[in-house]
Amino acid sequence: MDPLAYIQNKIRLALEKRKVVSIELDAIAQNLVPSVLQVLVHDHTDTLQTAQTAITTLSNTEVFEHPQIKRILDASIEKVCDMYKNEYTDVSNKITTDNIIKNDLATLLKTSPTSWSTLKEKTYQELMNNAVPGSNDERVFLWIGEIKKGTGITPNINETVGNYSKRAIASFLKSQSEIPV
């Protein structure tokens, strides 16, 4: 048995059990093999050292069935996969957040798409003050209201509109991703 392929497969199986963490599981698992080994060696030096004598006389298959090795290997894989899953959730939430904002604004501000670069720097208070009917400020203000309503997250009065929209949507997406399937 190829130890690295074995570990790769185990990572893949572990990732498969989780909520969607990309379809490229094989490649991801392959890339994470060294990390698992790092964790294995770093977190379980003593166990490896203790088991060294025992596993020398075992076949590769038997080594992976060795209770100590199996335990620490599973723990290392679990640790790496947990970390990956969290990273994936964060990154994909961020990407989704950016896309949501981008798409919304493309519709909202289609007459002046570049105005967002100015508007996003305004605080919520400033936006409220400038929300003249028919203005871009008003459009964004209404949009912020939708975000507030949809996510249940309230903007701070001095928080910039750009920061708030990102924070609220990302937080909402995170809450969605945490719900067990």
Partner 1 sequence: MSEQKLSSAEQLRASLTDQTPPKIPLFEIEPGATPEQTTQDIELKPTPKTSNPVLKKVQGAALATVLGAGTLSQEIRNGIEDSLGKPRTFEGEELGGLGGVVDGLKNLSDEVSAVPKKMVDGTKQIVDTALKQAQGVATTATHLAKALPEKALDLSGQVGNFGLKQAQGAVAATGIYSKIFSQDIKDGIAESWGTKKIALPKTSPENISIQEAPVLQELYGVTLEENAPKKDRLARLKELLTSIDQGGVPAFISNNLKRIAAENNIAIETTDTPADVIEKLRDKYLQQGETFKNISTPTPTSETIAPQIQKPERKRILSDFEKDVTEQTSIEDLAEFLTSKNYKDRMFGSGTRAVSGANLAKIISEKVLQAKKGSQVDPYFFIPDAILANKLHELLETSLSWQEIVSEFGTLSFEKKDSEVKEEAAQKATEMTIRKIEAATNPGMWKKIKTWTKENKYKAGAGVVASALLPKLFAFFLGGATEQKDPHVPNNQENRQVIEQNKNTSETKKVSEASTEQERKTFIDPKTGDTFTVEKPASATSKPDAQPLATNAPAEIPTQPEVNVIPIVDTPDYISGQPQSVTDTPDYISPKKEISTEKSLAEPFFSAEPEKPVVAQEKPKQFYSVNEMRNWFSQDKQKLAAFERVLHYADGQEEKGANGQPNVRAFWWETMQLEKVSTILPNKARSQNRNLTHKYVNYHIRESGSRDSIIELRGLDDNQFMTTGAKLRDFDTWYKNSLFPATQQLEQKITQEEKEGLADTTQTLGEYLTQVVYLGEKYGVQIKGIPELTEAQQQKVRSFQPTEVRAEVSSGNRENVVTQEKASPTENTYWADSALQNASLRGVGNSPYNSNLTWLNGPYENMVRQYWDIQKDMKINRHGYTLGELQYLKGQFEELRRRADSLGTNGTAFIIGNFSEKASLRQVDKILEDIETQLGAFQ
> How far is 42 from 35, CA to CA, in rounded Å?
10
Among 18, 37, 115, 130, binds partner 1 (CB under 8 A): 37
> How far is 76 from 175, CA to CA, in rounded Å?
27
Across-strand partners of 160? Answer: 123
Residue 3 in tokens: 């130890």
> How far is 93 from 80, CA to CA, in rounded Å?
20
Smallest distance, Å, CB 74 to partner 1?
Answer: 14
Contacts of 137 (CB under 8 A, 6+ apart): 119, 122, 127, 130, 131
Shorter beta-carbon distance to partner 1: residue 3 or 145: 3
- Does residue 41 touch partner 1 according to CB under 8 A? yes
**Segment interacting with partner 1, rule: CB under 8 A, options 45-53, 110-118, 124-132, 139-147:** 45-53
Q: Do residues 33 and 4 touch, judged by C-beta distance below 8 A? A: yes
Number of residues that bind partner 1 (CB under 8 A): 65
Smallest distance, Å, CB 163 to partner 1?
Answer: 13
Among 22, 112, 118, 125, binds partner 1 (CB under 8 A): 22
Among 18, 43, 128, 138, binds partner 1 (CB under 8 A): 43
Among 19, 34, 65, 74, binds partner 1 (CB under 8 A): 34
> How far is 31 from 92, CA to CA, in rounded Å?
19
Determine how many CB atoms are found less than 10 A away from the CB of residue 150. 11
Contact footprint for partner 1 (CB under 8 A): 1-5, 8-9, 12, 16, 21-28, 30-35, 37-50, 52-53, 55-60, 62-63, 72, 80, 83-84, 87-88, 90-92, 95, 152-153, 167, 171, 175, 178-180
